[in-house]
Structure 1
Amino acid sequence: MYYLLAILILWLILILAGDWLACRSKLTKADCLICLSGTRGRIKFAEDKIKAVQKIFTAGYTKNIIFTSFFAFKVNGDYKPIGPEEINYINKAVTEGRVTPAYAELIIKNGDFNLGAIGMRDRALSAGIPMENTFLCPWSLNTKEEALAVFELCQSKGWQSAILLTAPFHQKRAYLTFKAFAPTNFKLISYSAETSEWPRFFWFLKLANLKLFFNETIKIIKYSRQRKNKK
Structure 2
Amino acid sequence: MPYRSSAYTANVYPTKLNEYLAMGIPVVATDLPEIRRFNAEHGPCVAVATDPNQAVQAINTALEREPSTDRERRIAIARENSWQTRIAKMSALIVEALDREPAEGRWEKVLLRLYRRARRRAGAVIVGIVFLYVISFETSLPWVMAEVLRAADAPRSSDAIVVFAGGVGESGEAGGGYQERVKQAVDLYQAGYAPRVIFSSGYEFVFPETQVMRDLAISQGVPPGAILLESEAANTYAHVTRVRAILDRHGWRRALLVSSPYHMRRAMLTWRRVAPEIEIIPTPVPQSQFYTHARGASLQQLRGLLHEVAAIVVYWWRGWI
Residues 53-96 of structure 1 show CA distances to partners (whole Å, capped at 9, x for unaligned) of 11111111111100011215x5xxxxx1xxxxxxxxxxxxxxxx
- 2:163 — aligned with what? 35
Say if 1:58 and 1:19 are closer, same or farther in 2 by CA, change over 3 A. Answer: farther
Rate the CA distance shift 1:42–1:16 in 2: closer, same or farther, 3 A: farther
Give the conservation status (yes or no) of the 8 Å contact 1:151–1:183.
no
**Percent sequence identity over aligned pairs:** 23
Match of 1:213 among 288, 305, 311: 305
CA distance in 1, matches of 2:157, 2:139: 34
The correspondence for 2:208, drawn from 77, 97, 114, is 114
1:32/1:64 contact within 8 Å kept: yes
* Structure 1 pair 139–226 and aligned structure 2 pair: CA distance change class (3 A): closer
- The TM-score with structure 1 as length reference comes to 0.69
1:11 to 1:61, Cα distance in 2 relative to 1, 3 A: farther
Q: Does 1:129 align with 2:257?
A: no
- The aligned residue for residue 58 of structure 1 is 190
Q: Give the whole-Å Cα distance in 2 for the aligned partners of 1:168 and 1:129.
A: 23
State the partner residue of 1:83. Answer: none
SS of corresponding position for 1:178 = helix
Counterpart residue number, 1:86 = none
Question: Secondary structure of 2:208's partner?
Answer: helix
CA RMSD in angstroms comes to 2.6
| Cα 1:197–1:133 shift into 2, 3 Å | same
Contact 1:44 1:195 (C-alpha < 8 Å) held by counterparts: no
Moved more, 209-218 or 144-153: 144-153
Q: CA deviation at 1:224?
A: 2.1
**Contact persistence 2:139–2:295 (CA under 8 A):** no
Bigger-Rg structure (1/2): 2
Partner Cα distance (2:295, 2:228) in 1: 32
From the superposition, tell whether residues 51 and 11 of structure 1 become closer, same or farther in structure 2 (CA, over 3 Å).
same
Residue identity opposite 1:35 in structure 2: V
1:192 maps to 284
Q: Give the gaps of 5 or more residues in structure 2.
A: 1-133
Contact 2:155 2:281 in 1 (8 A): yes
Distance 2:296 2:174 in 1: 16
Give, in whole Å, the separation in 1 of the partners of 2:160 and 2:295. 29
- The alpha carbon displacement at 1:204 in A equals 4.8
Q: How many residues are treated as equivalent by the alignment? A: 182
> Which letter does structure 2 place at the counterpart of 1:61?
Y
Q: Is the 1:70–1:139 Cα contact (8 Å) retained in structure 2?
A: yes
**Residue 227 (structure 1) shift:** 2.5
> Equivalents in 1 of 2:213, 2:295: separation in Å?
24
Tell me whether 202-211 or 214-223 shows the greater mean CA deviation.
202-211
**Who is 1:168 aligned against?**
261
Equivalent position of 2:144 in the other structure:
16
Q: 1:149 to 1:226 in 2, by over 3 A?
A: closer
Structure 1's unaligned 5+ residue stretches are 1-5, 75-79, 81-112
1:159 counterpart = 2:257:
no
Superposition misfits of 4+ residues, deviation over 6 angstroms: none
Contact 1:34 1:65 in 2 (8 A): yes
Normalised to the residue count of structure 2, the TM-score between the two structures is: 0.51
Residue pair 2:256, 2:280 contacting (<8 A) in 1 also: yes
Cα 1:189–1:120 change in 2 (3 A) is same
Report the equivalent of 2:111. Answer: none
Partner of 2:40: none
**Paired AA for residue 37 in structure 1:** A
- Whether the 8 Å contact between 1:203 and 1:209 is mirrored in structure 2 is no
